[in-house]
Structure formats: structure tokens, C-alpha cells
């Protein structure tokens, strides 16, 4: 049945308002083609922008898709889009979509090396600054519309600032654990401002671990940074052993858990020796089993 371009566009708007985004996307595309056939390029461009925008409903974490939509919206100039019950200026929506694209792209950056971690931290911080300056206390419309998550630009900015600090902490962990701990402590403050108490507690705990200083039980070396430069090992400590520690400035064991502290050097040496002994023992057992199996094989043959 023949439908006018305006009618197709109206139907697409109705589907959008109902939240039927896949169907709305198809109708907008149909309207775009009809407008083009009718010789109305301006309306065709508008319908096309609606189509690519609503396609964000299934774009997931595709930064490229968001970036393309931002360009399409920017090309509309000063037009206003009617999105459900809202009327949104194309320029402001283009800015928001571009920021979300930047956010997703930053989260997807590699973080395997300190240099990559530093670059990712900077990208996360920059995206946070853009949320802060361009959206502020307003709700991030795109996130609310397609992900059903109500969050302000400031809240997302604080979360990205926290992630940035944590990434900087990871980058510095092996070279300067005290500085890394300070980054995690700052991340905890940002998580608190973002109203994420669990992440705040986790960052604060990690910061304390990185800044913790102890003395190796085995070699006496003073080290900083739990799980980086030293480890906690289960042990059995007598009262006499714990008393001998009283004059030490830095502890060599944890009073509550009876775990001793081992620097990374001593710990890795012990692990290497233990692995070597285990391999040697398994080889001895294998040879013994092979001999026993061969003996059983001979006994079976004799009985036959």
C-alpha cells in the first residue's frame, strides 16, 4: 500500500515513542528513501539521522557507531529532534553522543603495559572532563534512553576520574608503590562522589595495601606494596618468635593471622625451588610407576 514520506516518518516517531526501536529504525530508513525519491534531500537527511540515532539501541559498546551518529547529528545544523515526548537540539545531542563515544573508546584502550595504562588513564580523565563541562548535573539522555540507566554527567565524570586514578596507580605500582597507593586513595574519593560505595571501599583497601611497608621475614629487606613487592604467607609462629619482633620498626609478620611477610625476591626463589623439587619428585614417581607397570605386565604374560 502506498504511503507518503511524511506518513512513514510519523509512524516511525510513534514507534520510537512506544519504545519499539528496531521497528522505528526500519521506518525511519523507509522514510529516508521515500523523501529522497520525492526530491526532498533535507527531510531525507533528517530521517537518516533519526535512523542511525535509534540504531544506537543495539550498538552496545561500539564507539565507532556513536562517533558516526555524532557526525550525522552535527550535519543537521540547528535542527531540533522530537524524541518521544522530548525535543532535543541536534547540536547538543551530537555533543552528548560524541562524549559517550569518547567514553566507550577510552574504556576499550589496551592496558597491558605501563605506557598503555598511562595513555588509558589520560583518555578516561579527558572523557570525564567533557562530561563535567558539557553535561554537568543534567541526565545523560542517551544512556537513559537506550541503557535504562539514569546518571548525571557529573556522576559519570567522577566515575571516569576514579578509573583514571586507578589506572595511574596500576601504571606506577611496580616502580613507586607509595605513589600508586596515593592514586588509589584519590580514586576512593572520586568513587564516593560518584555514589559508588563498594568501589570506594575497594580502591581505599587497595591503596592501603600498596602503601603498606614491611620487612621480609627471610632476608630482612624493607619493602612496600602488598602483592607487588611482598606477599603474605601462612605460617606457625610461637610466642618466642613473635616476641623477638618487638624491637623492629617494620613488622615481619601479621599478628592477627600469623602470616609472615616474604619479599618478591625470596618468594620467587622459594617458588622456583619448590617447583623444581616437585618436578624432580614427580619424575621419580613416574619412573617407579613405569617399573611397577612393567613388572605387572611380565607377571600377566607368565600366567598366560
Identify the weakest region by mean pLDDT among 121-130, 202-211, 263-272, 275-284: 275-284
**Residues pairing with 83 in the sheet:** 86
Which strands, in side-by-side order, build the sheet including 253-254? 230-234, 259-263, 253-254
pTM across the whole model? 0.85
109-211: what fold?
Answer: 1.25.40
Q: How far is the C-alpha of 6 from the C-alpha of 27, rounded, in Å? A: 11
pLDDT range class, residue 283, cuts 50, 70, 90: confident
For residues 258-262, average pLDDT:
93
Sign of CA dihedral 209, 211, 215, 219: positive
Q: Which three cell numbers stand for residue 62?
A: 561500539
Q: Quick one: pLDDT at residue 247?
A: 56
Q: At residue 240, does pLDDT exceed 90? A: no
pLDDT digits (tens, 9 = 90+) for 131-159: 999 999 999 999 999 999 999 999 999 99
Contacts of 260 (CB under 8 A, 6+ apart): 217, 232, 233, 235, 237, 252, 253, 254
Identify the weakest region by mean pLDDT among 26-40, 51-65, 136-150, 264-278: 264-278
pLDDT range class, residue 1, cuts 50, 70, 90: very low
* Cα 132–Cα 80–Cα 55 angle in degrees, nearest 5: 75
For residues 249-270, average pLDDT:
90
Contacts of 240 (CB under 8 A, 6+ apart): none
Q: How far is the C-alpha of 286 from the C-alpha of 94, rounded, in Å? A: 68
Q: Quick one: pLDDT at residue 281?
A: 83
Q: Quick one: pLDDT at residue 2?
A: 44
Q: Quick one: pLDDT at residue 63?
A: 97
Cα torsion through 184, 189, 194, 198, rounded to 10: 60
Identify the weakest region by mean pLDDT among 96-100, 121-125, 285-289: 285-289
- Mean of the per-residue pLDDT values of the chain: 92
pLDDT range class, residue 238, cuts 50, 70, 90: confident
Q: At residue 91, does pLDDT exceed 70? A: yes
Amino acid at each position: 500500500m502506498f504511503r507518503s514520506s511524511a506518513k512513514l516518518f510519523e509512524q516511525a516517531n510513534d514507534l520510537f515513542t512506544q519504545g519499539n526501536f528496531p521497528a522505528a529504525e526500519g521506518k525511519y530508513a523507509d522514510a529516508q528513501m521515500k523523501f529522497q525519491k520525492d526530491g526532498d534531500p533535507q527531510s531525507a537527511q533528517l530521517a537518516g539521522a533519526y535512523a542511525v540515532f535509534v540504531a544506537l539501541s543495539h550498538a552496545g559498546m561500539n564507539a565507532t557507531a556513536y562517533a558516526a551518529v555524532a557526525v550525522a547529528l552535527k550535519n543537521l545544523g540547528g535542527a531540533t529532534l522530537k524524541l518521544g515526548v522530548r525535543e532535543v537540539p541536534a547540536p547538543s545531542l551530537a555533543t552528548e553522543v560524541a562524549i559517550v563515544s569518547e567514553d566507550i573508546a577510552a574504556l576499550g584502550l589496551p592496558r597491558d603495559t605501563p605506557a598503555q595504562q598511562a595513555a588509558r588513564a589520560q583518555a578516561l580523565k579527558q572523557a570525564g572532563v567533557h562530561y563535567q563541562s558539557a553535561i554537568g548535573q543534567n541526565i545523560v539522555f542517551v544512556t537513559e534512553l537506550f541503557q535504562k540507566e539514569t546518571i548525571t554527567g557529573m556522576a559519570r565524570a567522577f566515575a571516569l576520574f576514579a578509573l583514571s586514578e586507578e589506572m595511574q596507580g596500576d601504571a606506577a605500582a611496580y616502580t613507586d608503590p607509595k605513589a600508586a597507593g596515593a592514586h588509589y586513595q584519590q580514586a576512593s574519593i572520586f568513587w564516593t562522589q560518584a555514589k559508588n560505595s563498594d568501589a570506594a571501599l575497594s580502591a581505599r583497601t587497595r591503596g592501603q595495601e600498596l602503601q603498606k611497608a614491611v620487612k621480609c621475614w627471610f632476608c630482612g629487606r624493607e619493602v612496600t606494596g602488598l602483592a607487588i613487592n611482598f606477599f603474605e604467607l601462612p605460617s606457625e609462629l610461637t610466642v618466642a618468635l613473635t616476641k623477638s619482633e618487638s624491637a623492629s620498626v617494620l613488622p615481619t609478620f601479621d599478628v592477627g593471622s600469623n602470616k609472615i611477610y616474604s619479599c618478591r625476591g625470596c618468594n620467587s626463589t622459594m617458588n622456583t625451588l619448590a617447583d623444581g623439587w616437585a618436578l624432580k619428585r614427580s619424575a621419580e614417581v613416574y619412573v617407579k610407576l613405569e617399573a611397577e607397570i612393567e613388572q605387572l605386565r611380565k607377571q600377566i604374560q607368565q600366567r598366560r
